[in-house]
Amino acid sequence: MKISPLQARPPRIRRHRALRTGMAVAIAAATACMVVAPNAVAAGDDGAASSSTSSHSSTGTKIRDATITTKTKAELVGTSGLSAGDIHVKTRHGTVTLTGSVPDEQQRTQAVSVVKQVEGVQDVRDQLTIRPK
């Protein structure tokens, strides 16, 4: 009877690996929250109601913008015939800015067209350059 490598290890090592994986996921989630909403922890510290309200609305905007950026990147990568590896996406208040480079004008037009169809995109700023490969 053959014993698999996982069965040969003591249970504490398996638990330790699971704990490390869980901690890595928790740290990644906390980091993502701080990147998306860095001022969310400080909301309401000064006691002013208007400050707290504006913090919550700007946090909501940042989350919406991050969602739009993620959807946009996914659409660009998923579009066949589009070399999206050198396209960078930044979203602010629903306006998506495309920077980086594409090999030709056809792909530039295609990238802008794809982004305009993403839910939540209000405007697209095309700052792509053409660099043949």
Q: Which of 81, 76, 70, 77 is nearest to 104 (CA)?
A: 81
Write out the residue range of the structural domain in which residue 83 sits.
Answer: 62-130
Residue 81 lies in a domain: yes
| Bridge partners (DSSP) listed for residue 87 | 100
Q: 43 exposed, middle or buried (CB, 10 Å; 0-12, 13-18, 19+)?
A: middle
Phi-psi region of 129 (alpha: psi -120 to 50; beta: other; left: phi over 0): beta
| pTM, full prediction | 0.58
Residue 33 lies in a domain: no
- The total domain count for the chain is 1
CATH of the domain at 77: 3.30.1340.30
Residue 52 lies in a domain: no
Q: Tens digit of pLDDT per residue, the chain (133 long)? A: 566 555 555 555 544 555 555 565 556 555 555 544 444 444 434 444 444 445 556 888 899 999 999 999 999 999 998 888 899 999 999 999 999 999 999 999 999 999 999 999 999 999 999 998 7
